[in-house]
Structure 1
Amino acid sequence: MPDISVGAQVFDLTFHPTESIVYVGLLTGEVKAFGYDEQGQHDQRFTLKPSKRSCRGLTVDERGDRIWSVGKGKSLCTIDTRTAQITNTQLAAHDAPINRVRYISQHFLATGDDDGTVKLWDPRTPAEIRAYNHHFDFISDFLWLPDKKHLVVTSGDGTLSVLDVRSGKPAPFAQSEDQEDELLSATAIKGGQKVVVGTQMGTLSIFNRKSGWGDCVDRVPGHPHSIDALCTLPSSYPSSHSTILTGSSDGLIRVVQLLPTKLLGIVADHGDFPVERVVVDRAGEGRWVGSVGHEDVLKLTDLKDIFEDEDEGGVGEGDSEHVGSEDEGPSITAPGPVEEEKNDECSDSDEPEPEDPKSKKRKKKQAKDPLAKKKEKKGRNQIVTDPSFFSGL
């Protein structure tokens, strides 16, 4: 699909949960809605300006009837998507510019600001339900875990916290130790049992809920720049339980499989613009992934074209580790596994085992940083890969 020009820098986007409509929040304070179809055609549905200051965050309810916008103006605005009208504006909802907003359920809405304050709201009432002040730097992302009614909060202060929305106490259910890095994004894998967090230094930190929230259990370095956005693949793909899309400030959206860890390819390229948000339509179960950066366009990439190849002779999921070897033809743009904490560099035996020359060549090739951006020129949003590679996903 061609890029959708929106007229100003995009800060956030959200999709209608059941219809082919996408909403974007702009630097100008405007909220715009666009419709799109499977043939790549799009049209503008409405334009509203809830605030004169920038719109930093958007969220939509489970039916798509309302969206909420927040931003530098510190207000919380409600928009009726059916009438394209602003139905409510909560002025001075925070004392600092609001950075993120997340719809949780019919009676809960969460907002987080630049000073680290998180507030829970009931959309039916004008005042907040509770305010949390345990973070001291900007709130970067929210992740909802419905099984325990827990809201995971990431912050620039280097900690992750968990809020139990059922509790009446203005204190977190749990908070991690200082991770010594800004935490910028979060998503869940393994059926929600593990939480992946993107950091400023380009490391993916993995928290295991069964092990508690005190510290991460794994770290996966390798991204050359910060990981500002994360999301999971639709559940229709066999590997969705452990595969994520990462949006980095080097402009690339990567497909990364975790546990075991390997880079599977590059979905989209924003050029020199950092990727700020990555979202899959239809409540995460659709075919289009929307991404935005520091540019005045919304990029929609068709996951179906990338992952659902019709070649029945393609490489299956179990054979993916062999892709990229010299005798198997073309490989993805950056072959080889994602570099982990390098604990595997020490062999189990002190005596080296004999290896054939081909094996040595393959190991040398995999030692390159697979997540680094290649210097070779390629077309915009082009993926250099054997089309059959993703057929097993």
Structure 2
Amino acid sequence: MPDIQVGSQIFDLAFHPSNTTVYTGLLNGSVKAFQYDEQGQHHQSFSLRPSRRSCRCLTTDQDGSHLFAAGKAKSIFTIDTSTGTISDTRNDAHDSPVNRMKHLLPNMFCTGDDDGVIKLWDPRKSQDIRCYTHHFDFISDFLWFGDKKQLVSTSADGTLSVVDIRGKKLEPLARSEDQEDELLSIVSIRNGTKVVVGTQLGILSIFNRSQGWGDCVDRVPGHPQSVDALCALPSSYPSAHSTILTGSSDGLLRAVQLFPTKLLGVVADHGSFPIERIVIDQNGEGRWIGSAGHEDTLKMTDLKDIFEDEDGDGDSDSDQDLHTAMPSDGENRPNTDVTVSEDQAHSNAIPQVLEANPGDESQDSDSDAPKEKKRKIKEGKDSLAGRKKKWRNEIDAEPSFFSGL
């Protein structure tokens, strides 16, 4: 599908749960909707500007009839997706800019702001249902476990927390120890039994639900820069239980297999623009994956062209490399094969390699997105040097493992 030009930097995107419509929240405060078809053709269905401040987060309700938008204006706007008009506005919903939003139940969604405050909302009511204040830095991502009615949140304060929305206590059900790094993204794998968290240092931290949330059980280094976005594959793919998509600040959207750890390849290339959001249509079970970074372009990639062979059958072997898809302007990128020569290694050196052990927004004043709060790492300091614990399944790999990416 051709890239969709939206006219301003994209902060967030959301797909309609049933039809082929994608919504984008932009730096200039606009919300734009685009319809697309199986052949990759698209057209704009509506555009509106609820606020002059940036729109940082979007989510739809269960049937997709309403789209909720929020951002630096600290308000929550309800948009009727059939007419493209604002049907309701909650002014001053937060005391700080809203950074994340997620739909949970037919009559509930949540929001998280730059000060770490999490609020639960009923679309039928103007006031929040509950407010949690145990985090002290921006909320970076949410994960919802419908089986236990538990909401997991990650924060730049270095911890993740779990709240039971059925309880009335304003304290979390569980909270991790300080991971000594900003937690930026989260996704579940293995039917929700394990959780993968992306960090500022490029490490994937793996938590096991059955062993509690106190600390991660595995750590997978390898990404050269921060992992700002994570996404799971549709369940129809054989390797979906252990394969995730990662969006990094180096502009590459990668497919990474866990258990055993293996880099499968590059799915999309955003050049020098960091990838902030990755979403798959049809509630995560569709064929199109949308990715956005610090650019005014929404990149739509067909998963069938990436993970299926020419006959249309899914790869039966989870260890089989995917068919790497590179954009037409990707000739300046190094070879994307996982195995590379030693001569290629130092052309794209990476400080850590994958092992199975446990933006420019200067064009607007709204560009003080949470990314500015990230801690600076002192030069020459190994951020993992002080960690003595021997993780399970540790393997040795040459630095050339990732040099092609």
TM range (shorter): 0.7 to 0.9
Equivalence for 2:344: none
Q: Which amino acid aligns with 1:14?
A: A
Q: 1:161-180 maps to which residues of 2 (within 5 A)?
A: 161-180=161-180
| Identity between Structure 1 and Structure 2 (%) | 62
Q: 1:57-136 maps to which residues of 2 (within 5 A)?
A: 57-136=57-136
Q: CA deviation at 1:287?
A: 0.4
The TM-score with structure 2 as length reference comes to 0.82
CA distance in structure 2 between the partners assigned to 1:319 and 1:248 by the alignment: 22
Equivalence for 1:222: 222
* Cα distance, 1:152–1:77 mapped onto 2, change above 3 Å: same
Q: CA deviation at 1:183?
A: 0.2
Q: Which amino acid aligns with 2:354?
A: V
**Secondary structure in 2 aligned to 1:304?**
helix
Question: Does the 8 Å CA contact 1:339/1:369 hold for their aligned counterparts?
Answer: no
CA distance in structure 2 between the partners assigned to 1:213 and 1:185 by the alignment: 16
Q: Which runs of 5+ in 2 are unaligned?
A: 324-334, 341-352, 358-389
Equivalence for 2:339: 335
Matched, 1:255 2:255: yes
Question: Does the 8 Å CA contact 2:287/2:303 hold for their aligned counterparts?
Answer: yes
CA distance in structure 1 between the partners assigned to 2:149 and 2:391 by the alignment: 36
Equivalence for 2:195: 195
Q: Which amino acid aligns with 2:33?
A: A
Equivalence for 1:55: 55
Q: Which runs of 5+ in 1 are unaligned?
A: 324-330, 348-362, 375-393
CA distance in structure 2 between the partners assigned to 1:253 and 1:308 by the alignment: 18
The TM-score with structure 1 as length reference comes to 0.85
Question: Does the 8 Å CA contact 1:222/1:340 hold for their aligned counterparts?
Answer: no
* Cα distance, 1:188–1:128 mapped onto 2, change above 3 Å: same
CA distance in structure 2 between the partners assigned to 1:240 and 1:263 by the alignment: 14
Q: Which amino acid aligns with 1:262?
A: K
* Cα distance, 1:146–1:193 mapped onto 2, change above 3 Å: same
**Secondary structure in 2 aligned to 1:82?**
coil
Q: CA deviation at 1:333?
A: 2.1
User: CA-to-partner distance for each residue in 1:205-251, whole Å, 9 max, x for gaps?
Assistant: 00100000000110000000000000000011001011100000000
**Secondary structure in 1 aligned to 2:123?**
coil
Q: CA deviation at 1:314?
A: 10
* Cα distance, 1:297–1:167 mapped onto 2, change above 3 Å: same
* Cα distance, 1:315–1:152 mapped onto 2, change above 3 Å: closer
Report which of the two structures shows the higher radius of gyration computed on alpha carbons. Answer: 1
Equivalence for 1:370: 401
Matched, 1:278 2:309: no
Equivalence for 1:358: none
CA distance in structure 2 between the partners assigned to 1:17 and 1:196 by the alignment: 24
User: CA-to-partner distance for each residue in 1:15-39, whole Å, 9 max, x for gaps?
Assistant: 0111110000000000000001111
CA distance in structure 1 between the partners assigned to 2:80 and 2:290 by the alignment: 22
* Cα distance, 1:63–1:141 mapped onto 2, change above 3 Å: same
Q: Which amino acid aligns with 1:256?
A: V
Question: Does the 8 Å CA contact 2:114/2:137 hold for their aligned counterparts?
Answer: yes
CA distance in structure 2 between the partners assigned to 1:319 and 1:155 by the alignment: 33
User: CA-to-partner distance for each residue in 1:268-314, whole Å, 9 max, x for gaps?
Assistant: 00000000000001100000000000000000000001111126999
Q: How many residue pairs align between the two structures?
A: 349
Matched, 1:31 2:62: no
